[in-house]
Amino acid sequence: VEKIMAIFNDSVLFHGLLFLLSTLLMLFLLKISKKHINKPKIKKIVNFIGYLAYLGVIIFIFDNHTSHYLNSL
């Protein structure tokens, strides 16, 4: 349990885990939209929102990691 909680204390490990989870969620969303949404316009909108959310998570990771690094200097 202590080793799992250590992930949340280390910025690099936590952001790496967040990146992997967001990538997995994005791939899952694309797979679901490909199989279950029949209308192309709705599929495009869902994919676009998914890509925007994914980009937002990546920007959050870089911003948070950079500020953490600069504060440790």
Give the model's confidence band at 12: pLDDT under 50 very low, under 70 low, under 90 confident, else very high: confident
Mean of all residue pLDDT scores within the chain? 88
Give the model's confidence band at 7: pLDDT under 50 very low, under 70 low, under 90 confident, else very high: low
Q: Is 3 exposed, middle or buried (0-12, 13-18, 19+ CB in 10 A)?
A: exposed
Section 54-58 average pLDDT: 95
Section 20-40 average pLDDT: 94
Q: What does pTM read for this prediction?
A: 0.78
Is residue 23 scored above 80 in pLDDT? yes
Structural contact between residues 58 and 49, judged by C-beta atoms closer than 8 angstroms: no
